[in-house]
């Protein structure tokens, strides 16, 4: 696909196909002057075996450059990289990870995490915290502006108010969400930016907030900061055009 000269690529990195279904169209409406490409990680890179704070930026960079090479793009063709991750309750205190023998899958609740492998979740959370700290302090990848935004405790929680969805639920809810906001950019922007779960303001402070208490297992997102920055940029360009 050839881009129009005025268009730039906004690369959106998500964990799974249902995330693409839910957000791909909606974000395309927000970034209507750019070309949105959603890159699916097929899993959570922050908890992947062998990924740590020393190599996670390089690993994401390899994926970005491989995609660019396959499409004959260069770094200057990209406007920014938006990386959307689930918090998965990674910042809650270890005593809020409760052992539950008959718990077959991890259960996320407002009071903590229930699991039959407490030690395993503690280790996972530490790895995720280390990797997210590295990513949120990383301003560029392959010379492209980069920022990571969270969905807490996961994307389904923020978008559909469900914490422990099945794969079928994820797929069905994603299509319903995409349909609900198709052609309704302003409604989507208001939902993300002005809901009780919207964390707005300073980017660093939004990460400080999600680290506190049980916030990372409850319903919050700082994707609102990303959307508001784009809306501000559009308004500023419009004002300059009007003045000229």
Instruction: Return the beta strands (E) in the chain as ranges.
Output: 9-14, 35-40, 78-86, 97-99, 107-109, 112-115, 140-141, 144-152, 220-221
pLDDT beyond 70 at 138: yes
pLDDT at residue number 241? 60
Question: Which whole number is the average pLDDT over 116-135?
Answer: 97
Q: Which of 153, 127, 173, 172 is nearest to 214 (CA)?
A: 153
pLDDT at residue number 205? 98
3-state helix, strand, coil in the chain (%, to 5): 50, 20, 30
Residue 64: inside a domain = yes
pLDDT at residue number 3? 47
Residue 37, CB-side half-sphere exposure with 13 Å CA sphere: 20
Tell me the per-residue pLDDT of 38-89, one tens digit each, with 9 for 90 and over.
999 999 999 999 999 999 999 999 999 999 999 999 999 999 999 999 999 9
pLDDT band at 4 (very low <50, low <70, confident <90, very high): very low
Please provide the average confidence, as pLDDT, over all residues in the chain.
94
- Residues facing residue 4 across a β-bridge: none
pLDDT beyond 90 at 2: no
d(CA 136, CA 30) in angstroms, rounded, equals 23
Residue 108: inside a domain = no
Q: What percent of the chain has pLDDT over 90?
A: 88
Three-state DSSP at 200 gives coil
Residue 159: inside a domain = yes
Residue 204: inside a domain = yes
Q: Which of 61, 97, 223, 74 is nearest to 157 (CA)?
A: 223
Residue 115: inside a domain = no
Question: Which whole number is the average pLDDT over 100-120?
Answer: 94
**H/E segment holding residue 243:** helix 223-243
Higher model confidence: residue 205 or residue 33?
205
Tell me the per-residue pLDDT of 203-213, one tens digit each, with 9 for 90 and over.
999 999 999 99
pLDDT band at 101 (very low <50, low <70, confident <90, very high): confident
d(CA 210, CA 196) in angstroms, rounded, equals 14
**Would you say the pTM of this structure is higher than 0.95?**
no
Direct distance between the N- and C-terminal alpha carbons of the chain, in angstroms, rounded to an integer: 33
Residue 102: inside a domain = no
pLDDT beyond 80 at 139: yes
- DSSP conformational letter for 185: H
Query: How would you label 171-193 residue by residue, b for 16+ Cβ within 10 Å and e otherwise?
Result: bebbeebbeebeeebeebbebbb
What's the number of domains the chain is made of? 1
Residue 120: inside a domain = no
Range of the domain at 76: 9-88+131-239
- DSSP conformational letter for 165: -
Residue 244: inside a domain = no
């Amino acid at each position: 696909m050839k881009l129009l000269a005025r268009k730039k690529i906004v690369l959106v990195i998500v964990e799974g196909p249902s995330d693409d279904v839910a957000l791909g169209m909606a974000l395309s409406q927000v970034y209507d002057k750019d070309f949105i490409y959603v890159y699916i990680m097929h899993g959570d890179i922050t908890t992947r075996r062998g990924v740590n704070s020393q190599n996670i930026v390089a690993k994401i960079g390899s994926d970005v450059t491989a995609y660019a090479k396959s499409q004959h793009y260069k770094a200057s063709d990209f406007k920014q990289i938006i990386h959307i991750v689930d918090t998965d309750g990674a910042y809650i205190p270890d005593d809020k990870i409760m052992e539950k023998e008959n718990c077959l899958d991890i259960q996320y609740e407002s009071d903590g995490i229930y699991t039959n492998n407490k030690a395993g979740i503690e280790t996972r959370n530490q790895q995720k915290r280390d990797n997210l700290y590295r990513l949120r302090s990383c301003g560029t990848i392959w010379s492209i502006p980069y920022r990571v935004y969270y969905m807490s405790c996961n994307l389904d929680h923020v978008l559909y108010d469900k914490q422990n969805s099945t794969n079928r639920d994820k797929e069905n809810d994603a299509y319903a969400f995409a349909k609900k906001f198709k052609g309704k950019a302003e409604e989507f922007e208001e939902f993300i930016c002005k809901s009780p779960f919207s964390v707005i303001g300073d980017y660093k402070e939004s990460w400080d907030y999600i680290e506190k208490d049980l916030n990372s297992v409850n319903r919050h997102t700082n994707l609102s900061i990303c959307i508001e920055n784009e809306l501000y940029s559009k308004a500023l360009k419009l004002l300059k055009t009007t003045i000229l």
